Copies of this chain bind each other. A is one copy, B any other.
Amino acid sequence: MNALADYFKVFSEPNRLTVLETLRPGPLNVTAVVERTGLSQALVSKHLKLLTIAGVVRRRPEGSLVFYEVIDKGVFQLMGQARKLMLASRRQQLDALAAIL
């Protein structure tokens, strides 16, 4: 239970999700991610490290650059399903509200 919670925690941070989304089309090195996200370099590095430790992303040094890429694109399916559930629960809540008013 604990391990699963930790896994979910990986996706529970907006900037981290942004970084991950940036890597969706394909591998990028750190500065490329920095440019695309507008986040600070230190912060991007931190998030990428976390994603690596979580096994979501793979680190591949190439010369003086370091590329990162998503290991299993199934994570995006997970995100999609989560988004769907989230939207459904929102609708449900609005309906509940409407039933009261």
Contact among B5, B71, B83 for A4, CB-based, below 8 A: B83
Is A36 an interface position by the 8 A CB rule? no
Main secondary structure of the interface of A (DSSP, over half): helix
**In the complex, chain B residues whose CB is within 8 Å of the CB of A74:** 81, 85, 88
Interface string of A61-101 (1 = CB under 8 A from B): 00000000001101101110111011011101100000000
Q: How many A residues touch the partner, as a band?
A: 35 or more
Compute how far the CA of A5 lies from the CA of B11 in the bound complex, rounded to whole angstroms: 6
Question: When the two chains form their complex, are residues B78 and A81 in contact, meaning their CB atoms are under 8 A apart?
Answer: yes
Q: Does A14 have its Cβ within 8 Å of any Cβ on chain B?
A: yes
Which of B5, B71, B79, B85 is close to A14, meaning CB atoms less than 8 Å apart? Answer: B5
Q: Closest 7 interchain pairs by CB?
A: A55-B89, A9-B12, A8-B11, A8-B12, A7-B86, A5-B14, A12-B12
